[in-house]
Structure 1
Amino acid sequence: MRQTAILKINWENKLKDRKMKMPKKSLKKKSLMKKQWLQKNKKKKQLQKKKHLQKNKTREYKRRLNRI
């Protein structure tokens, strides 16, 4: 009984140590990171759209050339 209590206390102490070592990210930092991530994604999507449009333009151009 006594040994299990000691083991339990040791385990709790280890958990506390881990929690203390782990860096806590503040809410501001998290929200900032999320905003940056969203902006990055937005830019990626815009670039993809541009590329897609350019490809379509070249396809249409080639098609027109073939018709002539």
Structure 2
Amino acid sequence: MATANIHVVPTGDEWAVEVAGGGARTTYPTQEAAISAGTERAKRDKVELLIHGRDGQIRERNSFGHDPRDVKG
């Protein structure tokens, strides 16, 4: 099981799903396709998914595992 977070990032005219720290990188034609693939991978690996906008800034984060916050409800 991977312990590195998954990022959805712009790459030219496409979008990539990559593992933090220089891991594997897979490209997709749309951001939606990359988010879908990234979500599945993050759920499987129980890590955080970070979705970047075209400007490279993180616009959304989703935790699928080791969430440090203890929030009930």
Structure 2-normalised TM-score? Answer: 0.24
Bigger strand fraction: 2
Structure 1-normalised TM-score? Answer: 0.26
Bigger helix fraction: 1
Q: Name the structure, 1 or 2, with higher relative contact order (CA <8 Å, separation 6+).
A: 2
| Larger gyration radius, structure 1 or structure 2 | 1
